[in-house]
Structure 1
Amino acid sequence: MESARNKVRSAADLDSERVNHVVSELSERSKTTVQDRVQAVRANFVLALQAGVAALLAWFVSHDILGNPDPVFAPISAVGTLASSLGQRLRRTIELILGVAVGIGIGDLLVILVGHGAWQLGAIVTLSIIVTIFLGGSVAVVTQAAATAVLLVALPPKPMMDPEFPRVVDALIGGGVGLAVVALLLPLNPLRIVDRAARPALETLAEQLTVTADALAERDPGRAQTALERLRRVEEYMDGLQDALEGGRETATLAPARWNRRRALTRYAESAEYINHAVHNSGVLVRRAVTTLEDDEPIPAAMASAVRQLADAVRLLHQELGAGLEPEAARERVLRAVSAAGRAYSEGVGFSGSVVVAQVRTTASDVLRATGLERTEANRLVRRAVSPQAAPTRTARPAAH
């Protein structure tokens, strides 16, 4: 009887522990969600301010300067320009104006022929989309043409003597004002745009390499497996970095105040390819570290040190690229990682351990390329950092660059 009670009590304790774990996890996720949302607001505050200023100025120019009594399309066009993705605003403005022109042309013609009403609205929108697609318009042009047609039918009819071309002029004004706000009044810092996009990828990479180093030092395969799973998110972040690079180039081209950032931005853009290689090769490194631990292979202290210094090099790379500096500290730290990997190999490692050492070298070469070095120079420095007798030979072929 006592044994049965103990079993019931143990089961209850286990259930309570599971519930507490789930509640704690949900609470942590909730905090993370709020933090993410606050961070998203901060990151997009300038964009919201740009849109508000552009809408105000577009209305003022069309209404107060040019005397348009109903300048609806000017602020709409201005906000549409600002709402488009970074790196696509110039093209988006042209598409927006084309879409407005098509929507106005078709909408006005059909309103004159069939008048206003629900079925007329559906017919006008359908025809606007069909004509725009036939003319080869992009999704943005099609959407703008349809939205413009809706506004034409939904807005109160204007007197017949009123010319319709001011609506196209409004679109031109709105698009021009939107670009002017981006280029002249409130230009974003292109380097900050790119740095903000790169932060999740590089910070996650550095953090999980550090976790892997701790797992190697403490012989904890579970922690290394967790690092491997979290490292998979980095590849998702890299897509955001490419989008940010396009936006940064656009801003650096349009905004004279940001022309001084072109050189640093170009360096960041050239680094992105090799950062991506480093992410991939780090994934192989961590995967083999898990196998090393699970197979209970010998793990010299220098192996954990090599991975930890590689993580530090990634952090330094992010800091120096974001500040527009020559990434000398990152180069020095990554070569220390290579040297430590060489010592680990000399002290004796197993099959998977030798792959970890090789991937430290391969990832180090990627990081050096990301600092702006040519392939031959990067590989020469890596070889110099490791004595010839320490170079691993029992390893898989490194990923091609």
Structure 2
Amino acid sequence: MAQDRRPSLLRRGSARDGVDLDAARIAEGMAYLRNRGRDTLHDRLHRVRMSVGLAVQAGLAAALAWIVSYRILNNPQPVFAPISAVGTLAASVGQRLRRTVELIVGVAVGVFLGDGLILLLGTGGWQLGVVVTAAILLTLFFGGSVAVVIQAAATAVLIVTLSPSTQNLEIPRFIDAAVGGGIALLVTAILLPLNPLRVINRAARPALELLADQLDNAAQALRERDRDRAQRALERLRENKDELAAFTEAIEGAKETSTLSPARWHRRNELTYYAQAADPIDRAMRNSGTLIRRSVTLLEDEEAVPEPMPDAVSHLAESVRLLRHEFSVGAEPQRARERSLRAVSEAGRAYGQGVGFSGSVVIAQVRTTASDLMVASGISQEEANRLVRRAFGGPEKEQEGEAESSAGPRPPTAPALG
């Protein structure tokens, strides 16, 4: 009987009115997994491409630090110099000069405490614990950074553990820290300076493409009244911390390179756009998240979706793409600005056709995000606000005191709810 029933159960579970529902769901799941695998491989390859320059710099700096310390300074065990060089390059992109100073200060604190407490307490396990504790507390008391604390503690450990068997360890440790940090700066500034614009363009692409893609997904979700698609776009946009961190770090590193490297001094003006855009792009990310979240609520509540509303969100996505392209070629971002204002104009049309409560918030966030993108393009906040109000279709005096930034945007004031 069980064998007789199994086929009928399978038929009832997998087909209804001639449609294989299970197969459709399985196919959708497999397509998601395939796309996820491709995205993961793409992300890994992108990280490798982003890190090639830094890896080559670190390898060259480590080799040169070892050669200088061993061949020129006659250090028979040139361990600390290449470690210092790699630490300077890898640990603080955008703050390498400061990192070199922190290395030397940390070594000084560690040597002072290590030698002083060895004279008072001798060597041994508990003495080592006391020295490390004192090094950390002292550097923290004087406001030392994490890098200084680590260097002080590590140097104290080396002094306590190696001093009984290695004579005159202190001076080589100082010299190696200076040699390693100095050679790292030499490689960064003179021997192998990276192209700062190329570094920033590579770092900006994931962050801006993520924003544009999820705005496109939100627009399509509004057109199709697909709540799940809007929710997926929201969840993906919330995972933007790594992309934004890489973008911000790349800007700091590029600014440092253009300052230290004579070969890159001519890039300073071109870096201005990106340096000024970091904060408004971060705000645009957060405001777009609010836009998509309210789109999810709008669809859940079955509010009206005027036809221009999805178009407004699509124009925002295109504005982000144009902004990235015009930055990458060093052009004035006029097309990105025009597309942002077009998004606001479509939002004004949608507002005029009538929206519900969540819809009014979506409209307000289109305005706010467009203003953020305008500021990212190099326009002042006041000018961006004025242009956004004009593009929306209201009079110049409408909401005169409104700040079209992330500091509490208000939705338009007179929609009919429902």
- TM normalised by structure 1 equals 0.83
CA contact (8 A) 2:371 2:404 kept: no
Is 1:284 the counterpart of 2:299? The answer is no
Q: Which runs of 5+ in 2 are unaligned?
A: 16-20, 408-418
Greater Cα shift, 68-77 or 326-335: 68-77
| Equivalent runs, 1:252-331 vs 2, <5 Å | 252-331=258-337
| Equivalent runs, 1:1-400 vs 2, <5 Å | 6-7=8-9, 29=36, 31-107=38-114, 125-126=132-133, 128-129=135-136, 132-133=139-140, 136-152=143-159, 164-234=170-240, 237-388=243-394
Cα deviation code 1:321-371 (max 9, x no counterpart)? 233321111012112222222333344444433433332222212211111
State the alpha-carbon separation in 1 of the partners of residues 382 and 180 from structure 2. Answer: 51
State the alpha-carbon separation in 1 of the partners of residues 140 and 220 from structure 2. Answer: 57
Other structure's SS at 1:87 match: coil
Cα deviation code 1:140-172 (max 9, x no counterpart)? 222213323444456596775x68524312221
Cα 1:358–1:16, aligned 2, differ >3 Å: closer, same or farther?
A: closer
Cα 1:16–1:218, aligned 2, differ >3 Å: closer, same or farther?
A: closer
Deviation at 1:55, TM superposition (A): 1.3
- Determine what percentage of the aligned residue pairs are the same residue: 57
State the alpha-carbon separation in 2 of the partners of residues 308 and 225 from structure 1. Answer: 17
Deviation at 1:205, TM superposition (A): 1.3
State the alpha-carbon separation in 1 of the partners of residues 208 and 334 from structure 2. Answer: 17
CA contact (8 A) 2:163 2:169 kept: no
- TM normalised by structure 2 equals 0.80
Deviation at 1:99, TM superposition (A): 1.9
The one-letter code of the counterpart of 1:181 is V
Deviation at 1:305, TM superposition (A): 1.6
User: RMSD of the alignment, in Å?
Assistant: 3.6
The one-letter code of the counterpart of 2:288 is S
Deviation at 1:54, TM superposition (A): 0.8
CA contact (8 A) 1:271 1:372 kept: yes
Cα 1:254–1:213, aligned 2, differ >3 Å: closer, same or farther?
A: same
The one-letter code of the counterpart of 2:232 is T
State the alpha-carbon separation in 2 of the partners of residues 107 and 196 from structure 1. Answer: 44
State the alpha-carbon separation in 1 of the partners of residues 162 and 34 from structure 2. Answer: 48
Deviation at 1:27, TM superposition (A): 6.2
Other structure's SS at 2:330 match: coil
Q: Which runs of 5+ in 1 are unaligned?
A: none
State the alpha-carbon separation in 1 of the partners of residues 135 and 299 from structure 2. Answer: 63
Cα 1:307–1:392, aligned 2, differ >3 Å: closer, same or farther?
A: farther
State the alpha-carbon separation in 2 of the partners of residues 349 and 107 from structure 1. Answer: 70
CA contact (8 A) 2:66 2:81 kept: yes
State the alpha-carbon separation in 1 of the partners of residues 164 and 363 from structure 2. Answer: 74
Cα 1:30–1:384, aligned 2, differ >3 Å: closer, same or farther?
A: closer
State the alpha-carbon separation in 2 of the partners of residues 132 and 21 from structure 1. Answer: 56
State the alpha-carbon separation in 1 of the partners of residues 385 and 137 from structure 2. Answer: 56
Greater Cα shift, 265-274 or 327-336: 265-274
